[in-house]
């Protein structure tokens, strides 16, 4: 679902406070853009982000995590929560969530397949720049 990410501010040495602009796919071939603040970074393991909305209370939060399971095995996990409180978004919450969840699931399956196809992957060697 994410088409491009632009880093607007790098954050500290662990990337806490990183500010990025995310360009993403929307229904009916449209594009959206959002600002995300990265925090709670665990180097080479994961991070949390908050997608900052124009309206207070409508922010989304997410967490991406890599968990080593032993030699040549890594668990990839992703969680995202939406907080739609304003009309008209609240009225279309179900269809919006279904679209986003389908896109996220497809992305996670591709990432999981990539990890399966590359058993040599070591999360401790990932560049975090």
Domains of the chain: 2-125 (3.30.530)
pLDDT (tens digit per residue) in 35-66: 999 999 998 899 999 988 777 777 888 898 98
Q: 13 Cβ partners below 8 Å, 6+ apart? A: none
Strands 19-25 and 46-52: unpaired
Q: Name the residue with tokens 């996220």.
A: 104
Burial 80-94 (b: 16+ CB within 10 A, else e): eebebeeeeeeeeee
Indicate whether this model's pTM tops 0.95.
no
| pLDDT at position 122 | 63
CA 118 vs. chain centroid, Å, equals 21
Residues of the chain with pLDDT under 70: 72, 86, 89, 121-129
Distance, CA of 89 to CA of 1 (rounded, Å): 19
The dihedral over CA atoms of 31, 23, 76, 71, expressed in degrees to the nearest 10, equals 130
Q: Report the run of H or E that residue 110 belongs to, with start and end.
A: helix 93-117
Overall residue count recorded for the chain in this entry? 129
pLDDT for position 7: 96
User: What pLDDT is recorded for position 17?
Assistant: 96
């Amino acid at each position: 679902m994410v088409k491009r990410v632009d880093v607007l501010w790098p954050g500290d040495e662990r990337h806490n406070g990183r500010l990025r602009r995310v360009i993403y796919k929307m229904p009916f071939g449209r594009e959206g853009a959002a600002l995300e603040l990265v925090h709670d970074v665990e180097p080479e393991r994961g991070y949390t982000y908050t997608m900052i909305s124009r309206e207070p209370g409508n922010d989304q939060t997410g967490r991406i995590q890599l968990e080593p399971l032993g030699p040549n095995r890594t668990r990839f996990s992703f969680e995202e929560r939406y907080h739609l409180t304003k009309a008209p978004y609240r009225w279309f919450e179900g269809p919006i969530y279904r679209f986003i969840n389908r896109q996220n699931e497809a992305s996670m399956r591709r990432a999981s397949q990539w990890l399966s196809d590359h058993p040599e992957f070591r999360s401790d060697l990932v560049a975090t720049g």
